[in-house]
Structure 1
């Protein structure tokens, strides 16, 4: 495509979030994650490995993350590049041995983060997880490059297969223009959505027109829509 090498990696950025939010009227909310690999968490003499990710505040509501205590990442964390962290209940038990972790400082590899919240269970259901502000993660672990792994959007006013397919094609076309790849290349990005799964629910409940999509590099979560490269 236009002389580029085969298998060129397409990397989504914060700019793509702005595009989705401002240029697609069907998009209701936009959030994002940046996966930062596994890190060693430590408090006192206790430690464990956990998956680290940077997230935007709306991730909690869209993904349905439940907070056991404290709070999720907020806009001040994002704006001020705070070293705030959420850990899941399993991680809290290992590190703090039953003591209250809120307001305490943990080490994430060589850096220190303040625990502002504890998620119920683990945030990704299968592994210990530590969540920090997206901007902090990009600054510290990605050399301040604005890359994200997945953009999560809620979509409204899409009720038919035809509307869904047209919306998908417009997303592909716009991202292709932004990142200079062939919009017909199915290997550049993938799209998966929840609309097929909720058709019966739409009949039962009289119409559901808000769907969740993921656009990015990350793993497709249960019950959401994905577009990835």
Structure 2
């Protein structure tokens, strides 16, 4: 799983972007100690950084320069400052992209995905998730285990993917339906039950039992 660090003093924006990234399979870091950002970057070694310009201590330009002194981590500036000079400064100092607020969330996500793929071309983490013997290939909608495979429908893929990125946590039925709704897929309570049953059957067909557990009155857990 790739990790994105969101360096922004707007906590609401941090949380909004963080939620979108988590839903789409990223791990998220949201530092609060803005006077120690380079040290935090060194300690956590994220795969990509979203960096605001206006920050409580050093501005984003100085932070970018300091990070570039020791790392080539992709950096996307996200800022309300939208002059040509600001964009030129951001790119000249080592930024990889520049997005002004307010922005379209899906466009931001697309740019993050594209930059991650360019920066880590030999890493398949974006396309394949593995856990407890099960391999989910997002590009082919296939699950695999010990040479056995089954194909998932679009809804089954989305549901299993969401459970996997929230592995070892209880996920409520409401959360799953909200996630599918955000993905432009309408799933009611009865349809969700049917899809979960089909996913379980397909996972059993490839040789894994009790992969998805029901937590009575709470939801599901992998």
Please state which band the TM-score falls in when normalised by the shorter chain.
Answer: under 0.3
TM-score normalized by the length of structure 1: 0.25
TM-score, reference length from structure 2: 0.26
Which structure has more relative contact order (CA 8 Å, sep 6+)? It is 1
